[in-house]
Amino acid sequence: MVSSIALAASFVWIASFVMIVLKHRNVKAFYAGVVAGWMLLPQVSIDLPGQHITKYKILALVAGLLLPIVRRRESPQVSLGLTWVPALGMSVVAFASSISNNMGPYDGMVSAIQLFLLWGLPWLIGVKTLTDNEDIKAAFYVIIVASLLYLPLCYFEMKMAPVLHNVVYGYEPRSVGGLGQHMRFGFWRPRVFLEHGLQLSLFMGMSSVLAASISFSSGRLARTIWVPLLLAASTVFMFSTGAILLMFAGWMLLLISKVPRTYYVFALLSLIPVVYPLVRIVFPGVVQVEVSEEFRPSGSGFEERERSLAFRVRNEELLLERWRLRPLLGWTPWHYYKTTTQVVPDSLWILSLAKHGLLGWGFTTATLILPAIAVLRGRVTTGKHFDCQCGVIAIVTLMYALDCLANNMPHPVLLMLAGGAASCWRGRLTGLRPESTRVVTSQRSRVSRRSQWPPRATFGSRFHAWVRSVSRVCIPSFRGFAGICE
């Protein structure tokens, strides 16, 4: 579904994005164009031979083509290393799934390209562009300022209903359920130009966490605290229960980040996106939702929420029964849509499991939790301090991973941030290594374990060093929001 105005807006954005990047050639201009396209472009849907063109694919493709133009700071050459594994692994699994289902190499290439544009390319863009702390902070500032500028449009739809997409571009992007699905507790949930109100609520919650991290570490808390509080309050009034809970969890991790052994809480939350699907797989029917008529306030809307949750769980169980016939590589998207016409799943984990099997689900989950693993490994430390930028990226990526247990909405901007943070797995970001790192050699060319980066030691000493480094958690100070305009 697309209109002439939507096509014109897409071409205008592409031309503007190219001119901005050609003029400035820095990371801030690059991410300004990416975030502007993601927040302002219409939800297009164009069927071409072999591909279904959407807003997310256009955004990733244009950003990937402009990537060589971006001029990065003088820093060591960033090689892909093992970061290509989660980025390209899903595409390889999609191709293998098509071959195993006798769909032929053409269908395999179509599925592989689709997953690469949605997941792999944004991930690799983040790996190549976010090469130091200054680049990550620039991306943070762009996201926060864009969220603040987006608030008037959100307030308009809170009052008048989510109609801006229809008014500006001339069509409704998602007709399933109509406007009724955007009404919660008697209030309108805004959507603006994104796919759904749930996607917008989660994005605003993530922006409030990014803003809170900068405000807490800026040294100007009294002047800047209004920004994260405004974003948080706006998220609450969007009436998305999941996004509100995830936002509070992100704030909690930030507030307790200076407490010793905080990594235990973070590690437990990081296990949820892995443990919950495994429990559903190993123990069929372990999750059951009963719609109860007792102890419910009249007209509160909880009955609708209970019925929606029960419907979601039943559909997931039906897909799990279908998946068990081909557990390793799944059924491919064509077989999935052909044989599950009566099933309406919403969760990313069950969709990846049904389409591409255990391997596809494994690579998808690894893409989302790899930044958290990098932080827990202690590879993003500067001396004795927890690295703020990569740590906050791990928090918001974990928020998105938890949201994907119930929803399935692409987020290319977050995947770019995750790619930059996950590249710290090997300690390759400029400015993340201890300043006192020195290579001490003797006549036998033996390197001191204490000064080597990353350290080479036994499993026991590595575990002890990991516990000791991660327990020293604090947020380093850097300039506040006033530095944006300087």
Instruction: Return the pLDDT at 460.
Output: 46
User: Mean of the per-residue pLDDT values for the chain?
Assistant: 78
**Surface-to-core class of residue 263, CB atoms within 10 Å of its CB (0-12 exposed, 13-18 middle, 19+ buried):** buried
When pLDDT is averaged across residues 331-344 and rounded to a whole number, the result is: 67
Residue 455 has pLDDT above 70, yes or no: no
Report the range out of 83-87, 289-293, 370-374 with the highest average pLDDT.
Answer: 370-374
% of the chain beyond a pLDDT of 70: 74
Phi/psi at 453 (5° precision):
-130, 125
Residue 467 has pLDDT above 50, yes or no: no
The more confident residue out of 438 and 424 is 424
The more confident residue out of 148 and 73 is 148
When pLDDT is averaged across residues 338-365 and rounded to a whole number, the result is: 82
When pLDDT is averaged across residues 107-122 and rounded to a whole number, the result is: 90
Q: How many helices (H) and strands (E) does the chain have?
A: 19, 6
Token digits for 264? Answer: 């235990």
Residue 447 has pLDDT above 80, yes or no: no
CA–centroid distance for 56 within its chain: 13
Q: Which of 301-310, 357-366, 443-452 has the lowest mean pLDDT?
A: 443-452
Q: How confident is the model at residue 202 (pLDDT cuts 50, 70, 90)?
A: very high
Report the range out of 209-223, 302-316, 459-473 with the highest average pLDDT.
Answer: 209-223
Q: Which of 215-219, 267-271, 318-322, 354-358 has the lowest mean pLDDT?
A: 215-219
When pLDDT is averaged across residues 15-31 and rounded to a whole number, the result is: 91
3-state secondary structure of 188: strand
Q: How confident is the model at residue 34 (pLDDT cuts 50, 70, 90)?
A: very high
Instruction: Return the pLDDT at 176.
Output: 52
Q: How far apart are CA 483 and CA 486, in angstroms?
A: 5
Instruction: Return the pLDDT at 273.
Output: 92
State pTM to two decimals: 0.82
Residue 370 has pLDDT above 70, yes or no: yes
Question: What is the residue-wise DSSP string for 277-327?
Answer: HHHHHHSTT--------SS--TTSSHHHHHHHHHHHHHHHHHHHHHHTTST
Nearest to 351 by CA among 322, 387, 389: 322
Residue with tokens 């039943």: 314
Token digits for 116? Answer: 């690469």
Q: How confident is the model at residue 389 (pLDDT cuts 50, 70, 90)?
A: confident
Instruction: Return the pLDDT at 431.
Output: 42
Residue 127 has pLDDT above 80, yes or no: yes
**Surface-to-core class of residue 172, CB atoms within 10 Å of its CB (0-12 exposed, 13-18 middle, 19+ buried):** middle
When pLDDT is averaged across residues 169-175 and rounded to a whole number, the result is: 77
